[in-house]
Amino acid sequence: MSLTPQLLVVKDLSTTFDTPAGPLAAVGGVSFDLNQNETMGIVGESGSGKTVLARTVMGLQPRSKVTVSGSVLLNGFEVVGASDVEKQKIWGLQVAMIFQDPMTSLNPVMRIGRQIDEILRVRLGMDRHAAKARAIELLELVGIPSPAERYHVFPGQLSGGMRQRVVIATALAGSPQLLLADEPTTGLDVTIQAQILNLLDEIKERMKMSVILVTHDLGVVATRTSRLIVMYAGRIVEMGSTRDVFVNHRMPYTRALLDGSPKVSNPSHTRLLAIPGRPPNLLKLPPGCSFAPRCSFATDRCHKERPELQPANTPGHTFACWNPLPTNRGASA
């Protein structure tokens, strides 16, 4: 057991949406913990439940037509079941979120400085002059050139990379202990992606935050996280240290994600291996392993019985598979 204090403890968390076609289990029975000053990655294909999990941890799911069960304990505060008034006490101050698209996160008709000001004045009670000074400091912190001048511009006057920096500055305004970054580099070119990720690393160390990095790109989390969660069809199918998940993964789905990721060692124009088939319909999940219809290792048992997480050889490394891959295969990423 880690001696580092746990900032976040998630137990048996489930999020189900009430749809016209029936209940849709977007997240089912997820449990994990996060230590202080730790960076954890959550990976999986689109539709695997990553974003829904992050928003549920944040407490952002609407109350109507959504059922959330289980526990999300953030620094002793129970998020599940808390009222919006209660959650407003932690939003921005203990936990903040960076969303995928900065243009939907920012008000296009409000100057960027005023958007940061608003948080500082409402959440921290600063007066107008103190809030403006702090907003300019935050813009400088995230690498916005000429921050005092850029304070007055609108989001549409900035590049995608600069807008994402503003979103990060907004998220940092309340000095949160936990930062949830949901695909923070989507739509940015490779160079700008690296700059944004490096910025998050620097700020995380400077502010002693914990970070949950949500992405479909394993290359993003390879060197920037200490632990990884692999999700499929709303459930965790593998979890462990980043090295264990990359080097000694046991779940065939993890293997398929790695095979579909570009590698520096491959020759130019190497075709990436796509995972055959399609993700399951969450309204009608198969009775056994959800990945079985797409898995070349599947047996009759896989189609009939759902595997639960079981321990691997290394402490903290778990996987859910009836026919796991052998260990000590060597790194493939």
Question: In angstroms, rounded to a whole number, what is the distance separating the alpha carbons of residues 237 and 254?
Answer: 8
Q: Do residues 170 and 115 lie in contact, with contact meaning Cβ atoms separated by under 8 Å?
A: yes
pLDDT tens, position by position, 1-22: 445 579 999 999 999 999 999 9
Give yes or no for residue 219 having a pLDDT over 70: yes
pLDDT tens, position by position, 118-174: 889 988 899 999 999 999 999 999 999 999 999 999 999 999 999 999 999 999 999
Question: In angstroms, rounded to a whole number, what is the distance separating the alpha carbons of residues 168 and 203?
Answer: 10
Q: Region 217-231: what's the mean pLDDT? A: 93
Mean pLDDT, the chain, integer: 91
Structure tokens at 280: 């399951």
Question: In angstroms, rounded to a whole number, what is the distance separating the alpha carbons of residues 155 and 123?
Answer: 22
Which of helix, strand or coil describes residue 115?
helix
Give yes or no for residue 198 having a pLDDT over 60: yes
Question: In angstroms, rounded to a whole number, what is the distance separating the alpha carbons of residues 143 and 264?
Answer: 29
Burial track 34-69 (b if 16+ CB lie within 10 A, e otherwise): bbebbbbbbbbbebbbbbbbbbbbbbbbeeeeeebe
Q: What percent of the chain has pLDDT over 70?
A: 94
Residue 1, pLDDT score? 41
| Residue 32: partners with Cβ closer than 8 Å, 6 or more residues away | 10, 40, 229, 236, 239
Which of helix, strand or coil describes residue 259?
helix
Residue 217: band (very low, low, confident or very high) from pLDDT cuts 50, 70, 90: confident
Specify which residues 311 forms β-bridges with: 318
Which of helix, strand or coil describes residue 33?
strand
Question: In angstroms, rounded to a whole number, what is the distance separating the alpha carbons of residues 294 and 276?
Answer: 6
Domains of the chain: 6-94+178-319 (3.40.50.300), 100-175 (no CATH)
Region for 60 from its dihedrals, namely left if φ exceeds 0, alpha if ψ lies in -120 to 50, beta otherwise:
alpha
Q: Region 226-250: what's the mean pLDDT? A: 97
In the numeric block, the tokens 């493939």 are attached to: 332
Global pTM? 0.92
Residue 109, pLDDT score? 94
Helix (H) or strand (E) holding 15: strand 6-19
Residue 215: band (very low, low, confident or very high) from pLDDT cuts 50, 70, 90: very high
